[in-house]
C-alpha cells in the first residue's frame, strides 16, 4: 500500500503549497485530477481547460517534484486509508475481486491489494515514503500521454519547461512471470450478505501478447451484451444469477481471465458448474460465425464511442505504451479485431481456458 499512500499524501502539501492551495490552484486551472493505480504502473489522469494548461503544469509539476510529506498529513492519510479498507466488505464485488487476486496470483505482486491492509499501512514509516518517491518518480520512469485541443509541440514545451531540469534516477524493472502452482484453488469467505459473489478464473495472456485482440473478441462473445453466451445461458435460460460478466486483466505479465457472477446462495454451486459448461462448450465447439461478427460489431461501436472522449484517448495511448505495444497500435484497434479468425479463437480457447485448472473464490453466506 505504499504507492497508494504516497500518491494520496503528495496532494496534501508541497514545499510552497498546502493542501488548500493545491486544491484552489487546480480549480483555477479548471483541472479535474484522478489517481490511477494498476497492477503494473501508477499515475494521474487530468482533464484540463485547454487555455489553462500552463497553469496546470506549474502546479502539477510542483506536486510531482516537491511533495513535503509532512508527518501529520501522512498520519491522517493512513487513518483514512485504514477506514476505507475496513469498509471493503460492504462492497462484495470489490471484496471478492481482492481475495481472487490473493488466491490466484499467490505471492506475485499482482496478488497484493493496491491499498495494502491495515497492518501494512500502519507499518509504513514516513522515511520509506520519501525513498519510494525518490526511487520511482523519476523522469526516466515517466510517460506523459495527452489528447485534446492543445498541440503536441505546446505540450512538449510545457513538459520541458516544468520537468526539464528533473534529474534522472536509477529505476528497476522486475522480471516476475506469473506462475500457477495448483490445478484448482477454491476459497469461500463468509459475508453477512444475501447473495453469493463468485469469481472463477484462468491464466490468460499478457496485454502485449499476440493473443490480446483475440481475447478481446472472446471476452465479448462471453459477455458483450444481452445475447452473449454467459448472459443468455446462465441468467436468461437457467435463472441462476442476478448479474454475470467476463473480463481479463490487462497486465504486462500474464494475467487472469475471469468470470464474475452474483447469485442466490442456494444456486451458487450450480451457477459455477454451468459457467464451466459454457466455457467447455465454447472451447470444444467454438463460436458461431454470427457470434464472431456480432462481437466485432459490438467492439467497433464501443471503440468509436469510447474514443470520442479525450480523457479516454489519452488513457488508451498510455496503456498501449506501457504494455510495450506502442501508442500508434491503438489507432489500428479495429483492424486487429476484424483480423481475428475463428481458428484464432479456437486456439486461444484451448490455450487459456483449461476447465480442469482454475481458481474459484466466493464470498457470501456460509455454505
**107-163 confidence digits (pLDDT tens):** 899 999 999 999 999 999 999 999 999 999 998 899 999 999 888 999 999 999 999
Confidence (pLDDT) at 171: 75
Radius of gyration of the chain (CA): 22
Question: Would you give per-residue pLDDT tens digits along the chain (367 residues)?
Answer: 999 999 999 999 999 999 999 999 999 999 999 999 999 999 999 999 988 999 999 999 999 999 999 999 999 999 999 999 999 999 999 999 999 999 999 889 999 999 999 999 999 999 999 999 999 999 889 999 999 988 899 999 999 999 988 888 787 777 788 887 677 889 999 999 999 999 999 999 999 999 999 999 999 999 998 889 999 999 999 999 999 999 999 999 999 999 999 999 999 999 999 999 999 999 999 999 999 999 999 999 999 999 999 999 999 999 999 999 999 999 999 999 999 999 999 999 999 999 989 999 999 998 7
Q: Which of 161, 150, 163, 174 is nearest to 253 (CA)?
A: 174
Residues 275/230, Cβ–Cβ less than 8 Å: yes
Q: Which of 282, 284, 304, 285 is nearest to 232 (CA)?
A: 282
Instruction: Please give the Cα distance from 285 to 273 (Å, whole number).
Output: 18
Q: Which of 357, 361, 317 is nearest to 181 (CA)?
A: 357
Look up cell 469461500; give the residue.
Answer: 188
Sign of CA dihedral 360, 363, 366, 367: negative
Q: Which of 294, 148, 270 is nearest to 222 (CA)?
A: 294
Instruction: Please give the Cα distance from 81 to 76 (Å, whole number).
Output: 9
- How far are the Cα atoms of 29, 53, 166, 294, 341 from residue 285, in angstroms, in the given order? 56, 54, 56, 18, 14
- Which triple of cell numbers denotes residue 351? 490455450
Look up cell 499467490; give the residue.
Answer: 106
Residues 186/360, Cβ–Cβ less than 8 Å: yes
| Angle (CA) 77 82 85, round 5° | 130
Confidence (pLDDT) at 107: 87
Q: Tell me the domains of the chain and their CATH numbers.
A: 2-163 (3.30.830.10), 184-364 (3.30.830.10)
Confidence (pLDDT) at 177: 85
- Strands of 88-160 (E only): list them: none
Kindly give, in sequence order, each residue whose CB lies less than 8 Å from that of residue 297, ignoring residues fewer than 6 positions away: none
Instruction: Please give the Cα distance from 111 to 163 (Å, whole number).
Output: 33
Confidence (pLDDT) at 206: 95
Instruction: Please give the Cα distance from 128 to 134 (Å, whole number).
Output: 10
- Which triple of cell numbers denotes residue 182? 495448483
- Which triple of cell numbers denotes residue 39? 497492477
Look up cell 493512513; give the residue.
Answer: 78
What is the largest distance, in Å, between two alpha-carbon atoms of the chain? 64
Amino acid at each position: 500500500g505504499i504507492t497508494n499512500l504516497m500518491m494520496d499524501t503528495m496532494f496534501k502539501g508541497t514545499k510552497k503549497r498546502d493542501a488548500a492551495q493545491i486544491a484552489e490552484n487546480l480549480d483555477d486551472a479548471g483541472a479535474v485530477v484522478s489517481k490511477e493505480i494498476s497492477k503494473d504502473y501508477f499515475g494521474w489522469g487530468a482533464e484540463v481547460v485547454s487555455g489553462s494548461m500552463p497553469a496546470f503544469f506549474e502546479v502539477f509539476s510542483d506536486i510531482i517534484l516537491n511533495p513535503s510529506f509532512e508527518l501529520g498529513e501522512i498520519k491522517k492519510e493512513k487513518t483514512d486509508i485504514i477506514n476505507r479498507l475496513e469498509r471493503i466488505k460492504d462492497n462484495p464485488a470489490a471484496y471478492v475481486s481482492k481475495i481472487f487476486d490473493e488466491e490466484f496470483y499467490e505471492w506475485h505482486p499482482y496478488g497484493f491489494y493496491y491499498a495494502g491492509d491495515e497492518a501494512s499501512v500502519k507499518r509504513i514509516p514516513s522515511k520509506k515514503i520519501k525513498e519510494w518517491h525518490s526511487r520511482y518518480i523519476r523522469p526516466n520512469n515517466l510517460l506523459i500521454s495527452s489528447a485534446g485541443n492543445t498541440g503536441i509541440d505546446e505540450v512538449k514545451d510545457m513538459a520541458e519547461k516544468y520537468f526539464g531540469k528533473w534529474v534522472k534516477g536509477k529505476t528497476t524493472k522486475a522480471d516476475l512471470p506469473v506462475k500457477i502452482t495448483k490445478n484448482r484453488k477454491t476459497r469461500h469467505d463468509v459475508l453477512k450478505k444475501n447473495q453469493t459473489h463468485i469469481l472463477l478464473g484462468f491464466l490468460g495472456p499478457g496485454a502485449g501478447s499476440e493473443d490480446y485482440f483475440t481475447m478481446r473478441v472472446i471476452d465479448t462473445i462471453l459477455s458483450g451484451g444481452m445475447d452473449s453466451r454467459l448472459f443468455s445461458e446462465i441468467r436468461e435460460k437457467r435463472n441462476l444469477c442476478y448479474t454475470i460478466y467476463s473480463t481479463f486483466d490487462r497486465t504486462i505479465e500474464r494475467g487472469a481471465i475471469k468470470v464474475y457472477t452474483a447469485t442466490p446462495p442456494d444456486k451458487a454451486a450450480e451457477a459455477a458448474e454451468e459457467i464451466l459448461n459454457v466455457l467447455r462448450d465454447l472451447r470444444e465447439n467454438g463460436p458461431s460465425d454470427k457470434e464472431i461478427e456480432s462481437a466485432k460489431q459490438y467492439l467497433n461501436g464501443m471503440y468509436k464511442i469510447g474514443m470520442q472522449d479525450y480523457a479516454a484517448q489519452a488513457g488508451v495511448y498510455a496503456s498501449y505504451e506501457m504494455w510495450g505495444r506502442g501508442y500508434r497500435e491503438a489507432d489500428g484497434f479495429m483492424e486487429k479485431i476484424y483480423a481475428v479468425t475463428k481458428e484464432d479463437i479456437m486456439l486461444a480457447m484451448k490455450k487459456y481456458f483449461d476447465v480442469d485448472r482454475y481458481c474459484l473464490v466466493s464470498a457470501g453466506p456460509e455454505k
